[in-house]
Amino acid sequence: MRNLFIYIPLAIIALFVLGPFIWMLSTSVKPSGEVLSVIPHLIPSRWEFDNYAKAFASSPFLLYFWNSFFISFVETAVDLTIGAMAAYAFARIDFIGKRALFLVLLATIMVPGEVLLIPNYITITNLGWVNSYQGLIVPWLVSVFTIFLMRQYFLSLPQELFDAAEMDGCGPLRTLFRIVLPVSKPIWITAALIKFVGAWNSFLWVLVVANSPSLYTLPVGLINFSSNEGTVYNQLMAAATFTVIPLVILFAVGQRYFVEGIARAGIK
């Protein structure tokens, strides 16, 4: 009896949360005739996987996928590398001006990214990087949040680890990449996932910097497809599914790190 009061509300919440995705999947394989029916059916009478092929034929989604992947991958790899270096210095090296520099970096987290949009667009224009991969990628190569997350973790590592490395004659860079990073797997996976998802879903910046479809990422390509083929809902849902699925897979693989990382960042 008591369980019913827990499971029934949970089922309703789960339906609210997952319902739109189920509806998206269902619509994406419906024949055109069934999409616009007044009484909606969840299970199509015929599974029309052709919708995916048609969506791919009218818009270069594989190219968008590649752009999304390439941009997100480069941003994440660079962010983790130079973020880990900065985090190591802030956490484990005692140097002049450390506190002040760290506070300056930390203060920038408070500023909403949207304030940066116009000046950054102007910078990119002056560099001649509008409509280029550099323009899309370079402004996002570092995230202060990554530095902060890793620094907190490095601070918690035992001093003996660093003493041993120094005795072996390891410099800071070698200590970082050979000793510290291998034992910091949970935190760099968390940081990488957060950065990758953020880059994958980034919209406004891609919208203003990429002027030609050859540079569109999946989200922007999807909106572009939607304004061209707005009423073809089965193909539109097929395209939306294609945008959503890669991240769901990534999440399924790393969900433990993800949820715990977010929760940990939230509690501090």
Partner 1 sequence: MSYRARRTITAYFMILPAFILTAIFVMYPIVDSFLISFYKWDMLSVSKPFVGITNYIYIFQDPLFLQALSNTVLYVVSFVPCVIALGLITALLLNQKIRFLTFFRSAMFIPYLTSLAATGIIWQWIFNDQFGLLNYFLGLFGVSAQNWLNDPQWTLFNMVVMGVWQNLGYVTVIFLAGLQGISREYYEAAAVDGAAWWHKFRMITFPLLSPTTYFVLILTTIDAFKVFLQVYVLYGESPGPNNSGMTLLYYMFDKGFNDYHMGYATASAYVLFMIIFIFTLAQMTLSRRVHYEG
Give, as ranges, the residues between 202 and 261 that touch partner 1 (CB under 8 A): 203-204, 208, 218-220, 222-223, 226-227, 230, 233, 236-237, 240, 243-244, 247-248, 251-252, 255, 258-259
Interatomic CA distance for residues 157 and 154, integer angstroms: 5
Q: Which is nearer to partner 1, 57 or 109 (CB)?
A: 109
Q: Which segment (43-51, 52-60, 162-170, 200-208) binds partner 1 by CB under 8 A?
A: 200-208
Q: How far is the CB of 112 from partner 1 (least distance, A)?
A: 6
CB of 160 to partner 1, least distance (A): 19
CB of 56 to partner 1, least distance (A): 16
Q: Which stretch binds partner 1 (CB under 8 A): 17-25, 48-56, 129-137, 154-162?
A: 17-25
Q: Tell which positions 95-114 bind partner 1, by CB under 8 A.
A: 95-98, 101, 104-105, 108, 110-112, 114
**DSSP track, 18-68:** HHHHHHHHHHHTS-HHHHT-SS--SS-SS--THHHHHHHHHS-HHHHHHHH
CA distances from 199 to 39, 118, 142, 165, 203 (A): 39, 19, 11, 35, 9
Name which position in 63, 77, 82, 157 contacts partner 1 (CB under 8 A): 82
Residue 15 in tokens: 């339906």
| Residue 121: exposure state from Cβ atoms within 10 A (0-12, 13-18, ≥19) | middle
Length of the chain in terms of residues written: 268
135 belongs to the binding site for partner 1 (CB under 8 A): no
User: Sign (positive/negative) of CA torsion 242, 243, 246, 248?
Assistant: negative
Query: By rule CB under 8 A, what count of residues binds partner 1?
Result: 94
Amino acid symbol at 59: S
Task: By CB under 8 A, name the one of 43, 103, 167, 171 that touches partner 1.
Answer: 171
